[in-house]
Structure 1
Amino acid sequence: MSAPPASAATRYAAASPYPSRPAGRLDMTEPGRVALITGATQGLGAALVGELARRLGPHDTVYATGRDLDRLAEVCEAASTSTGAQVRSEHFDVSDPQRTPQLADLMRERHGGVDIVFNNAVMRVAPDDDIAAVVAPYVEVNNFATTRILRALLPLLRDNGRFVVIASSLGTLNYLAPVLHERFPDDATLDDVDAAVAGWRDLVADGSVRGTPWPGFINIPSKVAQVAAIRAVARTHREAHLARGTLVTAVCPGMMNTPTSAAFWDVSDAPSPQEAAVPLVDLALMESIDPNLYGQLSRDGQVLPWKPVAV
């Protein structure tokens, strides 16, 4: 009789680049941990909710956030277990600038802070989309929401906290023409990153981007800007955060077998969102952080160079 198929957690734990910890709390005398996931109604976001709920303990709370309350209820019901964390839903439209400070205030009032944030919300595009028509809402969700969440939730991140932006390996200067690298300088602030994104967005929206060095695939400038935002935070917070055991980082989860990815590529052999969530939660639950990952983009535990490597 053959053995039953291994679960996603079992298959991917061995491949994870991060030392995992057992399910449940390390020290039940500590206040309960609070984890928050944006874009949690489907795909990787829903999978992160389930994996965190399974591996945290009953004194911990996992927040699934998103726009669709019915889907959030389904995600929370599926993730809830008798031994894992409490799972709660919270309506959060990341494209609404007013909602981010409101959510931060809510976390402060209920818990005094947060321990784990997965910035995962994303607006997806399809191959036949009119890019000029969708670029404004796309940037609002993927970029301006990221910088708003960094500004609002980073001050609430407790000691040994984790703030993870789900990004892409496309998010480095290697994918931009050299003449564009100065748009994302090493000393950029979050405001500078927002301004660079707004300038590019306007060029795309009015069609004047044609004939410029900007790439036609809008994912690339958007993903570069996400990583630039993490780097901007790292430049001013690195020393203090590392002293507190706090990690702020961007991670590429790799290609996943989802309908969105399937519209562009053959992902039949790619891992499912549930499988991809395992190493990401390993990273969030590491007992000690790798300082090399702080403020960087990584994939499979390896930092991806921000700038082209000189030959």
Structure 2
Amino acid sequence: MWVISRKRKVLVTGANKGIGYAIVKGLCERFDGDVYLTSRDPVKGQEAVTKLKALGLNPLFHQLDITDQISIDNFKKFIKEEYGGIDILINNAGVYANQSLTMGEQAEYNVNVNYFGTLNLSSALFPLLRNNAHVVNVTSSVGRLQRIPSMDIQKKFKEPDLTIENLSKLMKEYIKTAKENRHVEEGWGSNAYGVSKVGLTALTMLQQKFFDQQYSNKNLSINAVHPGWIQTDMNKTATTSPENGAKSSLFAALDSNVKGQYIWNDCRIVDWAGPLPQRM
């Protein structure tokens, strides 16, 4: 007879280094249950787990590539069979495309991973969320809507009847525009990473609406978090540690009861469509 573990479970994507690694470390120190560190590269993932175990912590590992549907499906099958459900999901996996690529290539790479990869994983795992589960999407300060210059495009992101399907079409439209080198002319700006994170933040708000409509009895929450300007492979000149970058994610996952919000790196709730928040 197959026995499903009822232990509480948390998953962190893209967690073999940087902010993801720091999030796993913080969760292992505070969360009462199994903490899974996932990464695309199994060798790097296992090395990260070994480092954390040397600190007296006990994370578990599973391979997961959010851009590979087979990897997503295998991971979902494992979670469903072993645990039956998820208590916390932290979507940290993301990329910053090399600036030497053409803008079309940057747009496609950033959006396909940061937006569509997160969307595809979420679509697979959301049915496994247990009552009172928390989901965290790690976005960025450039995930604020005002980072897109065109007011007309901003309005499309803020339409009250916007659906996830239409948001995805908008993100594909951006990729097409960038490939045709019309992105600046059309008002998207010149930061492909920023557009991908705007899309992710907007997706977060729509996913909360989905929870409220489809799982109203489960009390599910999802929030977008800005980790700050953190020392990672993406930001080698930054001065803030990954441990500080993990604070907003840990707050959203463990300490907050808000839903469908944009959480700043100091754990303030801010308006994702508003101006840059002032430093405290």
User: What interval of TM-score do these two structures reach, taking the shorter chain for normalisation?
Assistant: 0.7 to 0.9
When the two chains are superposed, the root-mean-square deviation of aligned CA atoms in Å is 2.4
Alpha carbons 2:6, 2:83 under 8 Å: kept? no
- Match status 1:162 vs 2:124: no
Aligned-pair CA distance for 1:36: 0.7
Which of 160, 163, 166 is residue 186 of structure 1 equivalent to? 160
- Specify the alignment match of 2:48 in structure 1: 75
The alpha carbon displacement at 1:240 in A equals 7.1
Q: How far did residue 183 of structure 1 move?
A: 2.8
Alignment of 1:295 with 2:256, yes or no, is no
The 3 A distance-change label for structure 1 pair 81 and 113 is farther
1:193–1:229 Cα contact (<8 Å) kept: yes
Amino acid at match of 2:238: V
Tell me the equivalent position of 2:278: none
Give the equivalent residue in structure 2 for 1:3.
none
Match of 1:49 among 20, 24, 33: 24
The 10-residue stretch of structure 1 (34-43 or 203-212) with the greater mean CA deviation from structure 2: 203-212
Q: Which has the larger radius of gyration?
A: 1
Query: How far off is 1:197 after superposition?
Result: 0.5
SS at match of 1:187: coil
Deviations 1:112-167 (A, max 9, x none): 01111110111123444432223222221111011112211122111221100001
Which one is further off, 207-216 or 277-286? 277-286
Q: Is the 8 A contact 2:248 2:267 kept in 1?
A: no
**CA shift in 2, pair 1:138/1:308, >3 Å:** closer
Amino acid at match of 1:267: A
Determine the C-alpha separation between the residues in 1 that align with 2:242 and 2:274. Answer: 30
TM-score (normalizing by structure 2): 0.86
What is the CA distance between 1:210 and its match in structure 2?
Answer: 4.3
Which blocks of at least 5 consecutive residues in structure 1 are unaligned?
1-29
Residue 136 of structure 2 aligns to a residue whose secondary structure is strand
Structure 2 match to 1:285: 254
TM-fit CA distance, 1:308:
4.2
2:211–2:220: 8 Å Cα contact kept in structure 1?
Answer: no
Identify the range of structure 1 (48-57 vs 104-113) with the bigger mean alpha-carbon deviation. 48-57
1:37 counterpart (7, 12, 24): 12
2-side partners of 1:82 and 1:42: how far apart? 15
Going from structure 1 to structure 2, the CA distance change for 1:279 and 1:227 (only over 3 Å counts) comes to closer
Distance 1:64 1:166 in 2: 15
Pairing of 1:98-109 with structure 2 (within 5 A) = 98-109=70-81
1:184-243 Cα deviation digits (max 9, x unpaired): 223222211111111101111232324221111112211111011111112232377676
Deviation at 1:180, TM superposition (A): 0.5
2:6/2:84 contact within 8 Å kept = no
Helix, strand or coil at the partner of 2:88 = strand
One-letter identity of the residue aligned with 1:63: Y
CA distance in structure 2 between the aligned counterparts of 1:274 and 1:130, rounded to whole angstroms? 33
Corresponding position: 1:304 with 2:270 = yes
- Normalising by structure 1, we get a TM-score of 0.78
**Alpha-carbon distance between aligned partners in 1 of 2:269 and 2:201, rounded to the nearest angstrom:** 12
| Residues 187 and 235 in structure 1, CA contact (< 8 A), matched pair in contact too | no
Structure 2: gaps (5+ residues): 276-280
Contact 2:164–2:203 (8 Å) recurs in 1: yes
Matches within 5 A, 1:196-275: 196-238=170-212, 244-262=218-236, 266-268=237-239, 271-275=240-244
Rounded to whole Å, the distance in 2 between the matches of 1:83 and 1:256 is: 25
Paired with 1:134 and 1:164, the residues of 2 have a C-alpha distance of: 25
- Count of residues in correspondence between the two structures: 268
Which secondary structure does the structure 1 equivalent of 2:246 belong to?
helix
Residues in 2 aligned to 1:215 and 1:153: alpha-carbon distance in whole angstroms: 33
Contact 2:248 2:263 in 1 (8 A): no
Contact 1:44 1:277 in 2 (8 A): yes
